[in-house]
Amino acid sequence: MSKRRQSVTIRHVAADAGVSLQTVSRVVNKAPNVRPETARRVQESIDRLGYVPSLAAQRMAGAHSYFILALNDRERTIADWRARQGTDWVDQMLLGGMLTCAEHGYRMIIELVDTHSDHLDRELLAAIAAVQPDGIVLTPPHSGNRQIVDLLEAQGISFARIGSVRPGGGIKLTMDDERAARIATEHLIGLGHRRIGFVAGPADYELSGWRIDGWRAAMEAAGLRTDDLLAIGDFSHASGQSAAGHLLGLDDRVTALVVSNDQMTLGALLVAEEQGLCVPADLSLISFDDTPSMRYANPPLTAVVQPIAAVSARAVQLIIEQRRTGQTPATPVVLPAELVFRQSTGPAPH
């Protein structure tokens, strides 16, 4: 029987590269003040010997845990999983966050927390105690929750807030939702539409208000009224049906809709079909998020493409930089969304 191969340790790497254990540790941990040529030599030894740093050893060696914790809304995420409707937002957030963590020797863990829980503090503190994260990424609506923000500040943890610029600490990042809603509305105005309805998300999502503002700004700039053209949903398919049913049932019905997420848009599309309306000949539709369902809908839907992976990656990067330098961006970091044109928008019906 062959003997088990001896594990490669940090001592083997140090001996091979001709440097101290501390130098190898600094290279592994991407610490500053290591000369480039030294870092390159150590990395060559790591690659040649097949050394894999022990996360447990790294945690014991210093103040780093090498974990980034991402918090997402429990109720909505689990509801989508159970309904098998997909959670593309979560997937994209993890794509950007996990890959960026890996580049820096970190791991990302996702935790679902109910922002409406009576035991929110206890729930969040339990997650922090279990993971001991170096930083936390807050997604909407957690990012705008003052209770969560204050708790993290009190704990002295680096954290990023995606989709919130409300007062309080943390690194703030947005996808420029107001501009996204404005350019979507302007596209429809350019096609001759005058009755453009907007289906917003729930008020506890800060971005819901930004999107309403962008829609209203575009309408007002074109001299168009918005009084009866706003409906509120909760990001569910059923609420999209209800909102579209209301706006399409007006005496002077809408000829176009901007809808704040894909599930609600699919609900609106169903209502249009039930009413015998052809998209886009009778009704133009624009969605937010651009999950795969938008590309495979009939017709394929024009949508606001949000850079979720990119903003998650940037959040992780800024948390790691903040821990290293102590610097926080003075203003919110903006990664703008884009509008992708498909077959669900067309000229206003005569």
Residue ranges per structural domain of the chain: 10-61, 67-175+308-336, 178-304
Question: Mean of the pLDDT values across residues 312-341?
Answer: 93
Query: In the structure, what pLDDT confidence band is assigned to residue 321 with cuts at 50, 70 and 90?
Result: very high
Q: Which of 119, 157, 118 is nearest to 138 (CA)?
A: 157
Helix boundaries (H) for the chain: 10-17, 21-28, 36-49, 55-61, 74-82, 88-103, 120-131, 146-155, 177-190, 206-221, 237-248, 262-274, 292-296, 308-325
Q: 69-106: per-residue pLDDT in tens?
A: 999 888 888 887 887 766 788 889 999 999 999 998 89
Distance of CA 227 to the CA centre of its chain: 31
pLDDT at 61 over 50: no
CA atoms within 13 A on the CB side of 191: 26
**Quick check: helix, strand or coil at residue 232?**
strand
**Quick check: helix, strand or coil at residue 171?**
strand
pLDDT at 5 over 60: no
Peptide bond into 347 cis (omega under 30): no
pLDDT at 162 over 70: yes
Q: 202-224: per-residue pLDDT in tens?
A: 998 999 999 999 999 999 999 99
The predicted structure's pLDDT at residue 218:
98
Distance of CA 124 to the CA centre of its chain: 20
Higher pLDDT, 303 or 49: 303
Alpha-carbon separation of residue 314 from 64, 153, 307 (angstroms): 20, 20, 11
Query: Which CATH superfamily includes the segment(s) 178-304?
Result: Response regulator (3.40.50.2300)
Asked if the domains at 10-61 and 67-175+308-336 fall in one CATH topology, the answer is: no
Query: In the structure, what pLDDT confidence band is assigned to residue 2 with cuts at 50, 70 and 90?
Result: very low
Task: Quote the pTM value.
Answer: 0.80
Higher pLDDT, 29 or 293: 293
Question: Mean of the pLDDT values across residues 280-300?
Answer: 93
The predicted structure's pLDDT at residue 63:
58
pLDDT at 288 over 80: yes
Question: Mean of the pLDDT values across residues 113-142?
Answer: 87
CATH level 3 topology of 67-175+308-336 = Rossmann fold (3.40.50)
Q: State the average pLDDT for the chain.
A: 89
CATH code of 10-61, in short, is 1.10.260.40
